[in-house]
């Protein structure tokens, strides 16, 4: 593998993945913002239900790593038959869980919301239930879109997922303006309108994805609907998919728990944390997209079964990763005084977030060792080690550290960035030796 091949593989996917990540981030935000124009009860109800829904969708997003990694591997081996079986197997397996779960969430949405948000007022719970009456059925749609997007990127097509993400946002705006805000003389449906809007956006994204992939001839090497012998690779898909599912969903549950801990510190602390979290998502957009690209390209190289090529690719990718993370770290230090004002007009909250972003600048410097290395591991089908490290560090250091620092040292919301910095440092110390010794290549041959 030469430098030209490395650049071509990365640059072919990178722009499309960046825009896809941006559209994904905007989709839920715009929906919630439109709900906020009705009243505070609808805003809180939709926000609460969306948070719970995000945890469930995260589980299925994690499962898609199995199909995407194996599809990339078999396509690199020019084995279209196996790639087709993997695609069909992963879709059928995910839908076999997703559809029943959507039905259960629909029928039991009221007791679930009352249990999770027991302190919420009755109008807020009712709004959550109205939203989930339709949004619950977006779970299988979100999984299908995520799985097909991953598989297409493994086939070298990041444009189709990008176009699908853009179309989903357009549908979200149009349907939301009609059903949520009641424009053009339509009746306001409130939280139910927000649920219908999300479901419409998810379904439209799948349709646009398939149409774009068809016209771009992205399915020429394999078929996503070849269901014969779909079970041939299920054990491999599950070996990669389920650990990744638990890792991803555990991370999102930890964010929910962390938000509950911060909420106990008061309104100002909670607002500062929410602005800090939004700022982190904004700053991390490019590096998160880069990690996704690296996962897919690593899956392609693992298909060749050549350790040397994988190691050479990893070295070059890490160098570029450090360059990106250093630039973003500098950007954080330069803009940390201004970015918080995008989300709030409060000087107190903005100053607090500005100080919290110092820790983000540090963690960004070691980002390639904390978040990029697991992308290499997953790309080769090695997911167990990163899943264990992620879950243990998140819950013991990030959650436990925040609780201890805030209660024992009384430093309030500043406990969050300190705990995150410690968490990332320990991850780097655990991941790097594993990478350096070549243990991540156990599923490859010389």
pLDDT at 265: 81
| Burial of residue 77, with CB atoms counted within 10 A of its CB: 0-12 exposed, 13-18 middle, 19 or more buried | middle
Query: What mean pLDDT do residues 215-234 have?
Result: 78
Q: Evaluate whether 250 touches 76 at the Cβ level (below 8 Å).
A: no
pLDDT tens per residue, range 384-416: 999 999 999 999 999 999 999 988 888 888 899
Beta-carbon contacts of 120 under 8 Å, excluding residues fewer than 6 positions away, are: 44, 45, 48, 113, 128
Mean pLDDT is lowest, of 104-113, 302-311, 386-395, for 302-311
pLDDT for residue 2 is more than 60: no
pLDDT at 348: 84
Beta-carbon contacts of 75 under 8 Å, excluding residues fewer than 6 positions away, are: 83, 154, 155, 221, 222, 300, 303
Can you read off the two tokens belonging to residue 389? 């490290």
pLDDT at 164: 94
pLDDT for residue 30 is more than 80: no
Can you read off the two tokens belonging to residue 12? 């072919």
Angle between helices 122-135 and 190-215 (to 10 degrees): 30
pLDDT tens per residue, range 39-96: 667 777 777 788 788 888 999 999 999 999 999 888 888 888 888 888 888 999 899 9
Place of tokens 């079964």: 305
pLDDT at 39: 66
Strand partners, 306: 445
pLDDT for residue 188 is more than 90: no
DSSP H helices, 284-414, are 285-304, 307-335, 347-365, 367, 373-379, 384-393, 400-408
pLDDT at 50: 82
Neighbours of 364 (CB within 10 A): 27
- Spatial separation of the C-alpha atoms in residues 153 and 295, rounded to whole Å: 10
pLDDT at 317: 93
pLDDT for residue 443 is more than 90: no
- Comparing 211 with 113, the larger pLDDT belongs to 211
- Spatial separation of the C-alpha atoms in residues 424 and 248, rounded to whole Å: 16
pLDDT for residue 1 is more than 60: no
Can you read off the two tokens belonging to residue 8? 């071509």
- Comparing 11 with 118, the larger pLDDT belongs to 11
pLDDT at 32: 65
Percent of the chain with pLDDT over 90: 43
pLDDT at 191: 80
- Spatial separation of the C-alpha atoms in residues 116 and 316, rounded to whole Å: 45
pLDDT at 4: 62
- Comparing 255 with 363, the larger pLDDT belongs to 363
- Spatial separation of the C-alpha atoms in residues 135 and 156, rounded to whole Å: 31
DSSP 70-91: HHHHHHHTT-HHHHHHHHHHHH
pLDDT tens per residue, range 274-302: 788 888 888 899 999 999 999 999 998 88
Closest by alpha carbon to 367, among 285, 249, 257, 262? 285
- Comparing 446 with 379, the larger pLDDT belongs to 379
pLDDT tens per residue, range 318-364: 999 999 999 999 999 999 888 888 777 778 888 888 889 988 899 99
Give the dihedral of Cα atoms 382, 384, 385, 386; nearest 10 deg: 80
- Spatial separation of the C-alpha atoms in residues 385 and 167, rounded to whole Å: 37
pLDDT at 347: 82
Closest by alpha carbon to 94, among 136, 137, 141? 141
**What value does the mean pLDDT of the chain take?**
86
Give the dihedral of Cα atoms 252, 253, 258, 263; nearest 10 deg: 110
pLDDT for residue 33 is more than 80: no
């Amino acid at each position: 593998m030469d430098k030209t091949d490395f650049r071509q593989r990365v640059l072919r996917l990178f722009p499309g993945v960046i825009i896809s990540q941006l559209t994904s981030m905007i989709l839920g935000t715009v929906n919630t913002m439109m709900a906020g124009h009705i009243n505070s009860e609808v805003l809180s109800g939709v926000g609460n239900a969306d948070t719970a829904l995000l945890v469930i969708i995260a589980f299925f997003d994690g499962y898609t790593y199995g199909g995407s990694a194996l599809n990339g591997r078999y396509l690199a081996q020019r084995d279209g038959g196996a790639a087709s079986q993997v695609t069909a197997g992963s879709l059928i397996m995910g839908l076999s869980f997703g559809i029943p779960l959507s039905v259960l969430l629909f029928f039991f949405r009221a007791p679930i919301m009352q249990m999770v948000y027991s302190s919420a007022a009755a109008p807020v719970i009712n709004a959550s239930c109205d939203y989930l009456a339709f949004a619950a059925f977006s779970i299988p749609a979100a999984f299908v879109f995520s799985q097909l997007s991953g598989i297409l990127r493994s086939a070298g097509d990041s444009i189709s997922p990008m176009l699908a993400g853009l179309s989903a946002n357009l549908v979200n705006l149009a349907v939301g303006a009609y059903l949520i805000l009641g424009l053009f003389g339509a009746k306001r449906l409130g939280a139910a309108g927000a649920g219908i809007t999300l479901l419409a956006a998810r379904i439209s994204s799948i349709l646009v994805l398939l149409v774009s992939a068809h016209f771009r001839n992205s399915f020429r090497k394999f078929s996503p609907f070849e269901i014969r012998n779909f079970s041939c690779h299920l054990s491999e898909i599950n070996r990669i998919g389920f650990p990744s599912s638990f890792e991803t969903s555990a991370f999102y549950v930890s964010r929910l728990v962390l938000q509950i801990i911060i909420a106990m510190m008061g309104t100002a602390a909670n607002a500062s944390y929410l602005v800090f979290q939004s700022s982190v998502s904004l700053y991390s957009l490019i590096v998160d997209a880069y990690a996704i690209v690296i996962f897919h390209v690593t899956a392609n190289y693992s298909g060749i079964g050549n350790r040397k090529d994988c190691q050479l690719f990893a070295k070059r990718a890490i160098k570029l990763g450090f360059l990106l993370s250093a630039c973003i770290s500098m950007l954080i230090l330069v803009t940390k005084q201004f970015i918080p004002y995008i989300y709030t007009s409060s000087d107190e909250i903005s100053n607090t977030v500005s100080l919290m972003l110092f820790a983000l600048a540090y963690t960004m410097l070691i980002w390639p060792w904390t978040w990029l290395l697991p992308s290499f591991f997953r790309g080769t089908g090695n997911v167990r080690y990163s899943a264990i490290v992620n879950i243990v560090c998140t819950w013991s250091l990030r959650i436990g550290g925040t609780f201890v620092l805030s209660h024992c040292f009384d430093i309030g919301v500043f406990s969050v960035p300190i705990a995150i910095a410690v968490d990332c440092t320990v991850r780097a110390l655990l991941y790097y030796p594993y990478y350096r010794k070549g243990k991540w290549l156990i599923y490859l041959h010389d």
